[in-house]
Amino acid sequence: MNSAAKRPKATISIIGDRFMLPSMFEKAIRAKCDGELDIRTYEMPWPDEPMQHGYAEPGMGGLKEYQGTADEIVAYADGADIVVTHLAPFSAGILDRLPHLKLIAVSRGGPVNIDMEAARQRRVLVVNTPGRNASAVAEFTIGAILAETRLITRGHDSLRRGEWRGDLYRADLTGEELSEMSVGVIGYGHVGTKVVRLLKAFGCRVLVCDPYVQLSAEDLNDGVVQVSLERLLAESDVVTLHARVTSETRGFIGAAQFAAMKRGAYFVNTARGPLVDYDALTEALKSGHLRGAAIETFAVEPTPPDLELLRLENVTLTPHIAGASVKTVKYAAAAAAEEVRRYLAGEGPLNPC
């Protein structure tokens, strides 16, 4: 009898949604895992219905960016050894109600929907899929930069209003080409490194600020320069943000940083809303100190309808969709499936949290 036949039956609960499809999780798991598997799938209604972004939900212990109530998640995961999910919350109280649970595979970069301390205390292994959407966000960032700097958004908005803005061809209004710009990249992780690689094709000067990592030999040879935040802000025509949210970076781009940027520069955020003081950004855009901004994430999501930033003309706005690509889904499903395979085979995890 082979080892696969000897392996005990595993019960796996897949709690997906309308982006991270349960069917794609299941297909990836069955392709990687031998042996008898009891797989149950559930589909949450995100993104058609918003996730919970706050910290104050009773009984959720400070979790954020999740969807589903405690009773729903317990019903979906009851009796499971393994849960594979994207947005399902796991607070201490929920974990207490799932005594069989041994592994949670979260298809995202940060397990903010999991109470990690509670999981450790209960010996529940949590793994994630870092870099799952890095390629998608990097490509989107280039698109956002071009949309804002080359006035693509202005032309689109005017035509939708029935207005032909030939004045956008005027030399005092039209945008510069990336080949003539200095672009500052804040954060040199999974996304930032890919943004740098894509920017090289445009021939622009690239500055990078990240105090915790060093540039690759390839980037150094290609003329990318690692600088302080102060120098990056002072010298960049475009500043694009790719840092993670930590106690150090929360709100670290504010009024002083916008004032330190070149007059007429552009600001791009495809990272996270809590990194930025959006009231200060609004004032910098209204005053004309910044020529424009491309904003993909916000301090509060969904955005309040009366948010002044939404009414400014010199912005390109998108509703937190930079990471949305089919490649992201396939990559994350495969990465989560590999973690399940390794767990069932008695191998160590690749990405323990």
Active site residues: 272, 301, 320
- Output DSSP code: residue 250: T
Measured CA to CA, the distance from residue 321 to residue 190 in angstroms comes to: 17
Beta-carbon-side half-sphere exposure of residue 160 (alpha carbons within 13 Å): 6
Is the separation of the CB atoms in 254 and 266 below 8 Å? Answer: no
Which of 351, 320, 336 minimizes the C-alpha distance to 136? 320
Measured CA to CA, the distance from residue 241 to residue 208 in angstroms comes to: 10
151: left (phi over 0), alpha (psi -120 to 50) or beta: left
Is the separation of the CB atoms in 207 and 222 below 8 Å? Answer: no
Measured CA to CA, the distance from residue 278 to residue 308 in angstroms comes to: 10
Measured CA to CA, the distance from residue 141 to residue 139 in angstroms comes to: 5
Continuous segment of H or E residues that includes residue 92:
helix 92-96
Angle between helices 22-32 and 326-344 (to 10 degrees): 40
Sheet holding 265-269, edge to edge: 225-226, 205-209, 182-186, 238-241, 265-269, 290-295, 315-317
- SS3 (DSSP) at 57: coil
Q: Work out the burial of residue 3: count CB atoms within 10 Å of its CB; fewer than 13 is exposed, 13-18 middle, 19 or more buried.
A: exposed
Long-range contacts of 304-311 (CB under 8 A, 24+ apart): 307/278, 308/282, 309/278, 309/281, 309/282, 309/285
Q: Which residues contact 166 (CB under 8 A, 6 or more apart)?
A: none
